[in-house]
Amino acid sequence: MLSVCTQIQMDKNTRKLRNQDINPCIEESDASQKCLDAYKYDKTMCSAYFQTYKNCRKYWHNIMLQRRRDGVRPDMPTAAERLELLAVLGGKPY
C-alpha cells in the first residue's frame, strides 16, 4: 500500500509531466501511448513514434542547456515561446 506522502509525490510528478510549460513533448508522448494502445503494446509497431519522441526530447533538452549557458530564465521556454519558435522555424525540426 502506498503511503500518503508517496501518493502526493506521484500526483505532483504526474502534474509536472502534463504541464505544457515544463514538458514540451506531451504531444509526442501521447502519440506513442496511443500507438501502443492501438497495437496491443507491440513496441515494434511504434518505433517511429518512439523516435519522434526521442528527437523531441533531445531537441528541447539542447535548447534548455543553451538557455542555461546564456543565463536565460526559465531554462525551458514556455509553451507560448515554443510555439513562436516553431513558427519561425516553419514547423517541428524533429
pLDDT digits (tens, 9 = 90+) for 11-69: 777 777 788 889 999 999 999 999 999 999 999 999 999 999 999 999 999 999 999 99
One-letter identity of residue 12 = K
pLDDT of residue 82: 96
pLDDT of residue 18: 86
pTM of the model as a whole = 0.81
- Residue 74 grid coordinates: 526559465
How far is residue 91's CA from residue 35's CA, in Å, rounded to a whole number? 22
pLDDT of residue 6: 60
Q: What is the DSSP letter of 56?
A: H
Cα atoms in the 13 Å half-sphere on the side-chain side of 48: 3
- Which 3 state secondary structure label does DSSP give 49? helix
| Residue (of 67, 58, 63) closest to 94 by Cα position | 58
